[in-house]
Amino acid sequence: MKTKLLPLIISCALVGSSAHAQSLPNQSSAPISVAETIWQDDSKVMDAFISDLMAKMTLKEKIGQLDLQAGNGVLTGSYRNKDYVKQIKAGHVGAVFNTLGANRTRALQKIAVEETRLGIPLIFGYDVIHGHRTIFPISLGEAASWDLQAIQKSARVSAEEASAEGLHWTFAPMVDVSRDPRWGRISEGAGEDVYLGTQVALARVKGFQGDDLSKTDTIMATAKHYAVYGAAEGGRDYNSTDVSERTLRSIHLPPFKALVDAGVATFMTAFNDLNGVPATANKYLLDEILRKEWGFEGFVVTDYTAVEELVKHGFAKDSKHAAELAFNAGADMDMVGQNYFKHLEASVTENKVNIATIDKSVRRILEMKYRLGLFEDPYRYSDLSREKKVVLSQENLLAAQDVARKSMVLLKNDKQTLPLSHTLNSIALIGPLANSKADIIGSWAGAGDRKTQPVTVLEGLKAKLGKDVKINFAKGASYNYQSNSNKGFGAAMVAAKKSEVIVVVMGESQKMTGEASSRTSLTLPGNQLALLKELKKLNKPIVLVLMNGRPLSLNWANDNVDAILETWFSGTMGGHAIADVLLGDYNPSGKLPVSFPRNVGQIPVYHSMKSTGRPFNPSIPLKKQNYTSRYENLENTPLYAFGHGLSYSSFDYGEIKLSSDTMTMGGSIEASVKVTNTGQYDGEEVVQLYIQDLVGSATRPVKELKGFDKSMFKKGESKVITFTITEQDLAFYRQDMSFGAEAGEFKLFIGTASDNTQSKSFSLVEK
């Protein structure tokens, strides 16, 4: 097997906290390089070992390696084979997921290794999505930190905990770009943007896989769900997708491609059909693009029961046909449904599946087992003493608290309502989410405890404030869709009347987000808004602390409350992190990774939209511009734009300076801006770079994120932030679908949010 050489370029502009003269890597040319050694140690020794082993395997044993079974842990779909242990004993299972713990994984591994004919070890997988036992903020929240080191750290801690429990593989990161907040799984990704999403995906894979997959504290990552799952029609989960080749390649594929270049070990197919062909049996995606064009050498697993779902898609006539279609398209491993196991032997006999194709898939899976070191010592990950030491360690909990603080976005802060004054004697803490452990932990809290460990806002505030400040707590309202009684309002009003400031914790239940949790409305569910309106009548300062897994439409709150802090679902240490931010022990620095629409009718609304032939101009009165691309009853802009996020400090941006207003093809220019912390607090700022190509052979977005820099600024400090722009940053899929830049005029924007920038022009000229 050939050695895959990976670029050893480490992305620096986006992770650094040193502010000066950083260069801007292009997402496609300079990915963070991960796990080089996974691919570089694939010596002849491994090849010979695997060839030797495969020579001894029966066809049934080979097909068994393509089978992924769900163990006794959590159920993440509706089907499970209860006889999976028997099947392991027969030597007919390649991998198991939803089973964890050093003891349990060791026991199952023992069956595979000691009770089967060939003793081939199992791979153990799990959905380690936003933490393993120590739970970090949901993925969308982490993306809001724009802090790639923090995101990498979260994945690293998760891998350390998971691997100690015998796990070798996580089904993360989800890198589906999504511009539809109705879709519940927007919470699992990095939001609307291709560039940010790609950088976040790379940081996560780097954290999970480290730089050596054979180390016992690293785990294989999965690039999922391949592909276009985030564009499910109407935001309804599992729904069909239909996108052009240009949209596919410009928006949906770049994060996946970057992960292949960076050495991700596995891919997972998506549930949806794409342009009429289900992703799980999509030869174009799996074979043409992933294998042939990108050279992916890891293995592809289907999503949960996605093979037999080809029948319900109306694409396969029965489960045997489905197995043949998925396998021949390029899906190596079948998750849960056992369709490969039940049918592929017959398909080989009938010449519907080629034995050489089976051999290739088996080899890919065995290679991963080899690279994980499982043939040397199949029990090396299941380590009870390490499990006891690392799981939920103090260090991990502190890391989770830090990432949680970094992920919070201050959406509004009138009259510096936040941070709360240290001279306060009383706080009303109100809302269904203020003391809910089950919610703050988030929508895919893996193996995390949901009942006792999560720190709520009430607990976090009490721990910080002690007896000095009286906290008057009342739940007051409910987020349940059906709630319309105002029974709890009285207690909430009493608590509020007794207090100097009202902190309201509202949003969604964690169950309203994630898989199979699409919503047709983005308002605060239940009777929460009604209670907020009652509280407003008291004429006291109101701080709204939000917990939610998607953009919400918050028009009334934006117009009526004093401060709004978006905290997402912030994990095990969420309550401490929120208390840190509310009291000013941490100055918020998050920025939205996705636009917050004014209402659901605006969807999709995102910063990189096209101009159209009749663009609406917000500076001209509405009446004077009929027949423009706008709504009759609402403006086009979102309530909170992509990249928006305030700080307790303020940042002044000087004028943009370009090293030249002309870039030659193949060359580069630098754009610099002096940023000064003009406020009263030390704080971090995310300086954002956007570019617009004014004329293209295919229409171009009005603005596209092309770089960012998150730096700490001491009170009064100034730094010059510099971005290097290369031809690669200007490249796109041209009219003929070739990828490259076109000479012409460009606009470059630098600012604190996508809707708060200044600009300079430059041109790109032929050599």
Contact between 533 and 556 under an 8 Å Cβ cutoff? The reply is yes
Q: Which residues neighbour 100 within 8 Å (Cβ) at sequence distance 6 or greater? A: 73, 124, 126, 162, 165, 166, 167, 447
Say what angle helices 574-582 and 394-407 make with each other, to 10 degrees: 50
Interface pattern 263-302 for ligand BGC (x via CB under 6 A):
----------------------------------------
CB of 364 to ligand BGC, least distance (A): 19
Beta bridge partners of 267: 223, 300
| Per-position DSSP letters for 648-712, written without gaps between them | SS-EEE---EES-SEEETT-EEEEEEEEEE-SSS-EEEEEEEEEEESS-SS--BS-EEEEEEEEE
Q: Which residues neighbour 149 within 8 Å (Cβ) at sequence distance 6 or greater? A: 15, 203
Is position 309 an interface residue for ligand BGC (rule: CB under 6 A)?
no
CB of 405 to ligand BGC, least distance (A): 27
Contacts to ligand BGC from residues 461-500, by CB under 6 A: none
CA distance 392 to 388: 9
Beta bridge partners of 646: 410
Q: Which of 36, 297, 303, 309 binds ligand BGC (CB under 6 A)?
A: 303
> Which of 76, 711 has the CB closer to ligand BGC?
76
CB of 2 to ligand BGC, least distance (A): 30
Give the strands of the sheet with 266-269, arranged side by side: 222-226, 266-269, 299-301
> What are the backbone dihedrals phi and psi of residue 640, each rounded to the nearest 5 degrees, phi first?
-125, 125
CA distance 613 to 563: 38
CB of 366 to ligand BGC, least distance (A): 22
CB of 59 to ligand BGC, least distance (A): 27
Task: Assign 3-state DSSP to the chain and report helix, strand, coil percentages, each to 5.
Answer: 30, 20, 50
Contacts to ligand BGC from residues 167-206, by CB under 6 A: 171
Contact between 440 and 574 under an 8 Å Cβ cutoff? The reply is yes
270 C-beta neighbours (distance < 10 Å), count: 25
Using alpha carbons only, give the angle 468, 461, 497 rounded to the nearest 5 degrees.
Answer: 70
CB of 97 to ligand BGC, least distance (A): 7
> Which of 303, 383 has the CB closer to ligand BGC?
303
Closest alpha carbon to 108 in 132, 73, 78, 77: 73
Is position 304 an interface residue for ligand BGC (rule: CB under 6 A)?
yes
> Which of 155, 411 has the CB closer to ligand BGC?
155
CB of 189 to ligand BGC, least distance (A): 11
> Which of 212, 515 has the CB closer to ligand BGC?
515
> Which of 171, 195 has the CB closer to ligand BGC?
171
CB of 703 to ligand BGC, least distance (A): 31
Contact between 411 and 565 under an 8 Å Cβ cutoff? The reply is yes
- The 3-state secondary structure of 147-165, one letter per residue: CHHHHHHHHHHHHHHHHHE
Which residue's structure tokens are 């891919």? 267
> Which of 261, 303 has the CB closer to ligand BGC?
303
Interface pattern 396-435 for ligand BGC (x via CB under 6 A):
----------------------------------------
CB of 183 to ligand BGC, least distance (A): 12
644 C-beta neighbours (distance < 10 Å), count: 24
Contact between 129 and 188 under an 8 Å Cβ cutoff? The reply is yes
CA distance 267 to 223: 5
Closest alpha carbon to 89 in 104, 77, 107: 107
Contacts to ligand BGC from residues 68-97, by CB under 6 A: 76-77
CA distance 211 to 404: 25
Contacts to ligand BGC from residues 98-137, by CB under 6 A: 127
Contact between 2 and 40 under an 8 Å Cβ cutoff? The reply is no
Q: Which of 288, 515, 670, 755 binds ligand BGC (CB under 6 A)?
A: 515
CB of 270 to ligand BGC, least distance (A): 8
Catalytic residue among 147, 303, 562, 580: 303
User: Residue 63 has which token pair?
Assistant: 């097909």
Closest alpha carbon to 152 in 108, 197, 208: 208
Contacts to ligand BGC from residues 215-244, by CB under 6 A: 224
**303 assigned to active site:** yes
CB of 665 to ligand BGC, least distance (A): 42
> Which of 221, 430 has the CB closer to ligand BGC?
221
> What are the backbone dihedrals phi and psi of residue 682, each rounded to the nearest 5 degrees, phi first?
-65, 145
> Which of 22, 510 has the CB closer to ligand BGC?
510
State the burial class of residue 291 (Cβ atoms within 10 Å of its Cβ: 0-12, 13-18, 19+): middle
Total of chain residues touching ligand BGC, rule CB under 6 A: 8
Give me the residue whose beta carbon is nearest to ligand BGC.
Answer: 76
31 C-beta neighbours (distance < 10 Å), count: 28
> Which of 76, 757 has the CB closer to ligand BGC?
76
Show the beta-strand stretches assigned E in 146-221.
169-170
CB of 173 to ligand BGC, least distance (A): 10
> Which of 238, 315 has the CB closer to ligand BGC?
238
Closest alpha carbon to 208 in 175, 249, 178: 175
> Which of 176, 566 has the CB closer to ligand BGC?
176
> Which of 278, 638 has the CB closer to ligand BGC?
278
CA distance 216 to 383: 9
- Which residues of the chain form contacts with ligand BGC (CB under 6 A)? 76-77, 127, 171, 224, 303-304, 515
Residues involved in catalysis? 303
